[in-house]
Chain A
Amino acid sequence: MKKKLETKMSRRSFLKGAVAGAALLGGPGIPYIARNAAAEPPPIKVAIVDALSGAYSRNGNLGIQGTKALMGWYNDRGGIKSLGGAKFVPVIADNKSTVEGSANAMERLCRDPDILIAQPTWGSSFAMAATEVTERLGIPSFTTGFSEKLNQRGFKYGFYPYPGFLDDMRLGVPVVMDMFKSTGREIKTQFVTSSNNISDLVFCQQTQKFLEEKGIKTLGTEFWPIGTLTDASTIMQKIKRENPDIVIYGGSAVSEMQLFLMKQKELRMKNSIFLGSSGFLGDPTVKFGGEYLDSWLALTPSFYHKRTPPEWHKRILDQCRKEYSDEPWAGQELGFPWCLVPVYAEALERAGSRDRKVIRDTIAKLDIQGTMTASCFVKNAVAFEPTGRLATKYCGIMVIQWQKGTCYCIYPPDIAMAKPRLVF
């Protein structure tokens, strides 16, 4: 009997039966699957190169988390409608906190012909290298680099949705001067200290020049090569000795600011006022500075503020908590992407095309005011100059300050989360 059954159930008859059974059971589903497969548009691949390891890995990793969160937000709302609901897919590579690493990583990612947008995010020096690649390949790129050198190269495919450092200085320094005047404390002397990172250096030197033209005397300058500062003792001792009314500070990394703060506390320099070139001084990792932080002010175009959509802020923090670290608020680095992703999402929506040239032309023509896309920009508007830099008419700057353990935007008043508290 057993032998008979084996004969009947040959391999061929078994396969026939299996195919028939599968067709019977799964048949109705096949057209559905096929239809969906046909309807699913190819993803929108975004090449992201950032510092995931090396000295600037915190900056890079925070930027990646912010980008992922915002891409997820658009994807959850059906993707880019004009491209059939295409979803964003980040394609990420590490630049190892080096300039050559940025160019190599971007070159590697952009071999994929489906890359529509590139995002060589943080650090002007890194962005300079990576955007050489995207420009050559004709890929629209978005970077947070503040250095004007980026937009002075005549590139067509590079977009820089933040004001350059010269604009930061032009817009922010007079505001801070006015703040001081309102407290009855006049600035007569300055001390300038910065890393030699291109954008910080430009900011500090231009601020020094600007203040000197207003009759403010420079008592000293100290510049250190980027990434080499291991101890701020000697700089802080010089500052203590000179006792300037204001210190123009251009550090490039949170760790450098930590060194300064430690020495400020150690040398009991409560009356020294620092004006930082960058919003990373609002990074929660400097919280240990305690009351000494209250004498630090910074200019930044990126920080959470009154108009920041709460769902974006929450989503970014949740994303960061899930994959990287538990951040109490979206500071400069974590918040950078909310002036990048919404802009290229809007451009893709309007372009309705996967042609990089069409996308680039659409971005160049954007002029958005008052919508959610522009909500995180200081002026609530975004457009680009022919150079790719944020349009001068829409350039704005925030002043941020620590108050009782939290860092707030204190200027401009329409988006400020707290009032300035300049009591020193």
Chain B
Amino acid sequence: MESLLQIIVSGVLVGMSYAVLAAGLALIFGVMKIVNFAHASFAVLAMYIPAFWFLQWWGVNPFISSVIALPLFFVLGYLTQRVLIERVMGKPESEMSTLIITMGLSFLIDNLILTAWTGAPRIINEPYTTGTWLVGSILINHAQTYSFFISIVIIGGLFLFLNKTMIGKGIKAAADNPGSCAYMGINLRFVYGIAFALGIATTAAGGCLMATYRSFNPFYEESIVVILFACVVLGGMTSIMGSLIGGLIIGMIQQVSALLFTISIQNVAIFAIFALFLYIRPQGILGKKERMV
């Protein structure tokens, strides 16, 4: 019982870290209908800059870095969309082109990190990294707990932005029906740029948070990218709240399955339940037949 409670707490904390990364992916897919293979690479880049190196150079707390990452990666995401993605959007075979471009971008980011800072695995070694609170018989990690609450704020902020601001409503409208939006005078190029930038900024903030309690290296994205896609698909492809629920479910399955079975089939358990879920509800948990953010 004690172990089960510990596992559930771990599952929720881990799940939330996936959720914040997956939220950006869902936003990009929902609005632009592109599968961004470079998504996790941006998160890893944020683990290095600002999270790790800002701490090393100037002693900036990585939790503050997660806030700094938002504008930094917003600009980077916007530029990436305008310079690379937009050039092929709307053209024949654009889905395949964007897939290849983002895959290439992922390789580029990974190898730039490798060249700049070597392949040495990094860790943010601060008291909160491995510090714990003992609640009853359950140990709760400090960094994961702080990250949990900051993640809720980030996802909540994203949700409010999309639902309460004019730009956010424009993004939602573009996701629903880009053709009509164009007739209504909404600048789709701008909206796509903002949506991509927001997605990347969110994942970068998530990357900073994850760096506070995980060891990472330039190729860390390979370990998480499939899980992020699973979160998004499980949640309903285009739904931010869906990706949150998807992340929590994946995190929980990952932890509980390892308690019941051997760790070697941890990912098998994730994808077995994932496949079963999609068989029962192909559109995902919060997915609708029409694509919506």
Give the contacting residue for A223; candidates B6, B254, B262; CB below 8 A.
B262
- Complex Cα spacing A229 to B111, Å: 21
- Complex Cα spacing A259 to B254, Å: 16
Which residue in chain B gives the minimum CB-CB distance to A287?
B125
Contact B139 A222 (CB under 8 A): no
Question: Which residues of chain B are near A406, meaning CB under 8 Å?
Answer: none
Contact B215 A234 (CB under 8 A): no
Contact A224 B263 (CB under 8 A): yes
- Complex Cα spacing A266 to B139, Å: 8
Most buried by A among B3, B215, B267: B215
Contact A325 B120 (CB under 8 A): yes
Which residue in chain A gives the minimum CB-CB distance to B124?
A288
Question: Which residues of chain B are near A196, meaning CB under 8 Å?
Answer: 264
Contact A258 B123 (CB under 8 A): yes
Contact A222 B263 (CB under 8 A): yes
Q: How far is the CB of A320 from chain B (nearest CB, A)?
A: 10
Annotate A322-359 by CB proximity to B: 1 below 8 A, 0 otherwise: 00110000000000000000000000000000000000
Contact B259 A285 (CB under 8 A): no
For residue B132, CB closer than 8 A to chain A, the reply is yes
Contact A58 B121 (CB under 8 A): yes
Contact A231 B120 (CB under 8 A): no
Q: How far is the CB of A395 from chain B (nearest CB, A)?
A: 30
Known contacts: A224-B263, A262-B215, A266-B130. The answer to whether A58 contacts B258 by CB under 8 A is no
Q: How far is the CB of A31 from chain B (nearest CB, A)?
A: 46
Contact B217 A55 (CB under 8 A): yes
Give the residues from 211 to 256 in chain B that come closer than 8 angstroms, CB to CB, to chain A. Answer: 213-220, 222-224, 254-255
- Complex Cα spacing A241 to B5, Å: 13
Return 10 A-B CB contacts under 8 Å, by A number: A57-B217, A57-B219, A58-B120, A97-B219, A222-B263, A222-B264, A234-B10, A237-B7, A266-B131, A266-B141
- Residues of A at the B interface (CB closer than 8 Å) are 53-58, 60-61, 97, 196, 221-225, 227-231, 233-235, 237-238, 241, 253-255, 258-259, 262-263, 265-268, 285, 288, 324-325
Given contacts A53-B219, A233-B10, A254-B121, 18 further A-B contacts (CB under 8 A): A53-B114, A55-B217, A55-B219, A57-B218, A58-B120, A222-B264, A231-B14, A231-B254, A237-B3, A238-B259, A241-B3, A254-B120, A255-B216, A266-B132, A266-B139, A267-B132, A285-B123, A288-B123
Q: Which A-B residue pairs are the 8 nearest by beta carbons? A: A57-B119, A234-B258, A255-B121, A258-B215, A265-B130, A288-B125, A58-B119, A266-B130
